[in-house]
Homo-oligomer: A and B are copies of this chain.
Amino acid sequence: MSRPPATAIDTPAFSPLYLQIKGLILQGLQSGEWKPGELIPSEMELAARFRVSQGTVRKAIDELAGENLLMRRQGKGTFVSTHAERQVQYRFLRLRPDEGSEQAEGPAQRQIIECRRLRASAEVARALSLRTGDAVMHARRVLSFAKTPAILEDIWLPGQAFKGLTAERMSGYNGPTYAMFEEDFGVRMVRADEKLRAVTPNEEQARLLGISGCTPLLSVERIAYTYNDVPMELRRGLYRTDTHHYRNTLN
């Protein structure tokens, strides 16, 4: 493992060894060499493969674990993270029932309103780094907590990667939708950006959520990314916040 040559002009471009190793491990994750839930080689093995010390591999894995791409388990090994794990299920869902109300974790019910292939609008195309008119999958659904509708969601996905997505699969899969994306399409969502706004629902939206039109809703626009900051999902959610709230922690 050699350092990159220092260029004469300007660029510092100094990349420590452990970051190069981190990149190599990332490649293995992107390429599918190690799939979500699988065990990756031990630190010693990776150190031997890359011809560096265990400590250097360790630092690379530390960073990847910090970004939730890998999961370390003492005595067992290091695993590729997955949305299917019990412990981190619904990691991206910040809506929580208000205190006092006893409610189960995670959406108890998913009702798929529609799921079809269509052409990307300019807006959707921009969010997904596609061109206007490219094929995209679109789904609309209602998520309920304890039988009460709480979220109305529109989801857009790149048509190429998500060819074959059906309403049946979306409603039938038992577990987080992002876990289904891993299983069926080999797409792992790694990070997401959200923009929140308070909005007034239109008639159709109010009807689907079973509320009056004057209840304000929390609009959550999310772009989810796979490895390498490639956007793979646009999601527009309307959250009921009269019985629930959106929880956030600032560090």
Contacts and interface: CB of A to CB of B under 8 A. Distances in A.
Contacts of A193: 247-250
Interface in A23-74: 66-68
A245 interface: yes
A248 B94 CA distance: 11
Interface string A195-218: 111111000000000000010111
A194 B67 CA distance: 22
Contacts of A249: 191-194
Given A216-B216, A218-B218, A197 B245 contact: yes
Nearest to A221: B245
Q: Give this chain's copy count.
A: 2
Contact of A196 (B66, B214, B248): B248
Name A's interface SS: strand
Interface in A74-112: 91-92, 94
A74 B76 CA distance: 36
A192 B214 CA distance: 31
A73 to B, nearest CB: 16
A251 B191 contact: yes
11 contacts: A67-B251, A192-B249, A195-B248, A196-B241, A196-B247, A197-B241, A198-B216, A198-B217, A198-B239, A216-B217, A218-B218
